[in-house]
Amino acid sequence: MPVAILIPLYLALAALPLTLAWVQDVPRRPFFDELASSLGLVSLAMILAEFFLLGRFRSITQRAGSDVIMRAHQQLARVALVFAVMHPFLYVSPMTQPPVWDVTSTTAVNYSWEGFWPGIAAWLLLAGLVAMAIARDSSGVPYAVWRMLHGLVAALVAGFGVLHVLRAGRYSADPLLGWVWILLFACAMGALLYVYLVAPLLRWRRPWRVTSVRPAAERTWTVTLRPEFDGGLDYKAGQFAWLNIGHGVFSLNENPFSISSAPSAGPEVEFTIKELGDFTRSIGQIKAGTRAWLEAPHGHLTLAGHADAPGIALIAGGVGIAPLLGILRERAATQDPRPTVLLYGNRREAQIVRPGELRDLAAQHGTEVVHVLSEPEETWTGATGLIDAALLRQQFGTPERRDWVYVLCGPPAMLRAVRAELLALGIPSARILSELFVYD
């Protein structure tokens, strides 16, 4: 689904209940009452739409990128929270039982405990949900546990919110809008069920086995898997997978990792994994033969759609080399004749992944590999410092490199700086592809 369709689709979904409320033929109330109701309606619709921005639906992530979708998920949740927080405090009409003749609750905000308590529950849980999301990394809660709680509390917020709007909502008393809420809620729960139940069930018949775990560089490992079914994975170089090693197919213990192998190299897939936290620090202990599951492919960091680019620039920081290794290998396997430059930044030489293979790629396929070390040993004779403006200008400042495709992967600060510099060099933003490894 193209991004140009995704945004209007999201806006239409978020505005649908409000539009259905506005077209109703009921007397209008004071401005602040209408504003309070409108914010409540939009906020609940946005909360339900969040269930489609999980970064797990390929038709969405392959266009916009999982990192962009997850960022949108986080930011839009904050907007929904602000709207929800304001919603109960803006009403100016009295909160009481309206007189019998006022069947459309025009003179009072129709109060009933039956309608109010689900609203209070949803309101409190939503604040807790967003706080829990913001404190995710600092809380010390294991990621899998956090994800389960996040899904569970989000489902409760949606359920209580819909119950509140159906019981207390002035506009949602209208049967059409009432059914729209029920339908949206059912779709939201369907999305959750698809990710955590249906998709794992579909994976059940597509198990993988670890074939090897080898050191790739300092605190970095190469993990290879082979499929135990016919066909393997249909992916593009540069994409990533949710990898579950050694757990049941329904387990939430799965992490995203870029695929470092070339699709045309055969059914085995390879990952380059750097030690960081609980799971990645235990990678070296994984035994060959361990069962694994892959939810893939995801991501938009591929050269698809850039066949017309006359050259390829790959810019990696640290383990950001992982997807770029896949692109380089695919380029070599398919004998892509386009000039290619790899700028690869690390702190120390020992952190360079597969230096020998990179040398071979340079020799055999003409890839220009430029290593840059920020904390080099005295024996290092290559470039030093960071991948900065001067280096980028030196490599890509000439007019003939302006139409190349630029693929970036690395720490967020590096990506921001490199992107800004490339834009300053006149590279069109449509030619700059990047993927973040953190969803913060």
Ligand X SMILES: Cc1cc2nc3c(=O)[nH]c(=O)nc-3n(C[C@H](O)[C@H](O)[C@H](O)COP(=O)(O)OP(=O)(O)OC[C@H]3O[C@@H](n4cnc5c(N)ncnc54)[C@H](O)[C@@H]3O)c2cc1C
3-state secondary structure of 258: strand
Beta carbons of 177 and 21 less than 8 angstroms apart: yes
302 touching ligand X, by CB under 6 A: no
What does the alpha-carbon distance between residue 97 and residue 88 come to, in Å, rounded to a whole number? 16
Nearest approach in angstroms of CB 252 to ligand X is: 8
Residue 286's alpha-carbon distances to 129, 180, 211, 227, 259, in angstroms, are: 34, 48, 10, 17, 18
293 touching ligand X, by CB under 6 A: no
Structure tokens at 193: 């069920």
Contact set for ligand X, span 113-172 (CB under 6 A): 137, 143
438 touching ligand X, by CB under 6 A: yes
Burial class (CB within 10 angstroms; exposed 0-12, middle 13-18, buried 19+) of 155? middle
Nearest approach in angstroms of CB 327 to ligand X is: 13
Q: State the virtual CA torsion across 433, 259, 274, 138 in degrees, nearest 10.
A: 70
318 touching ligand X, by CB under 6 A: no
What does the alpha-carbon distance between residue 130 and residue 150 come to, in Å, rounded to a whole number? 9
Beta carbons of 387 and 315 less than 8 angstroms apart: yes
The residue within the footprint of ligand X, chosen from 319, 361, 407, 415 (CB under 6 A), is 319
The residue within the footprint of ligand X, chosen from 240, 344, 404, 406 (CB under 6 A), is 240
Closer to ligand X by Cβ: residue 171 or 242: 242
Nearest approach in angstroms of CB 3 to ligand X is: 18
For Cα atoms 420, 55, 219, give the angle at the middle one, nearest 5 degrees.
70
Closer to ligand X by Cβ: residue 235 or 279: 279
Closer to ligand X by Cβ: residue 98 or 297: 297
Nearest approach in angstroms of CB 32 to ligand X is: 40
Whose CB is nearest to ligand X?
A: 277
73 touching ligand X, by CB under 6 A: no
Number of residues that bind ligand X (CB under 6 A): 25
Options 1-9, 33-41, 276-284, 372-380: segment touching ligand X (CB under 6 A): 276-284
The residue within the footprint of ligand X, chosen from 279, 396, 404, 406 (CB under 6 A), is 279
What does the alpha-carbon distance between residue 355 and residue 217 come to, in Å, rounded to a whole number? 9
The residue within the footprint of ligand X, chosen from 181, 293, 404, 437 (CB under 6 A), is 437
Q: Which residues on neighbouring strands pair with residue 111, listed in sequence order?
A: none
10 touching ligand X, by CB under 6 A: no
Site mask, ligand X, residues 181-200, x = CB under 6 A? Answer: --------------------
Options 97-105, 159-167, 174-182, 252-260: segment touching ligand X (CB under 6 A): 252-260
Cβ neighbours of residue 123 under 8 Å, at least 6 residues apart? Answer: 84, 85, 87, 88
Count each helix (H run) and each strand (E run) in the chain, helices first. Answer: 12, 14
Nearest approach in angstroms of CB 104 to ligand X is: 47
57 touching ligand X, by CB under 6 A: no
Q: Residue 411 region, left (φ>0) first, then alpha (ψ -120 to 50), else beta?
A: beta
Nearest approach in angstroms of CB 250 to ligand X is: 15
Residue 420's alpha-carbon distances to 330, 357, 392, 413, 423, in angstroms, are: 28, 30, 11, 11, 5
Beta carbons of 209 and 291 less than 8 angstroms apart: yes
The residue within the footprint of ligand X, chosen from 256, 317, 345, 376 (CB under 6 A), is 256
Options 255-263, 288-296, 348-356, 412-420: segment touching ligand X (CB under 6 A): 255-263
| Site residues, ligand X (CB under 6 A) | 66, 137, 143, 240, 254-258, 271-274, 276-280, 299, 319, 322, 435, 437-439
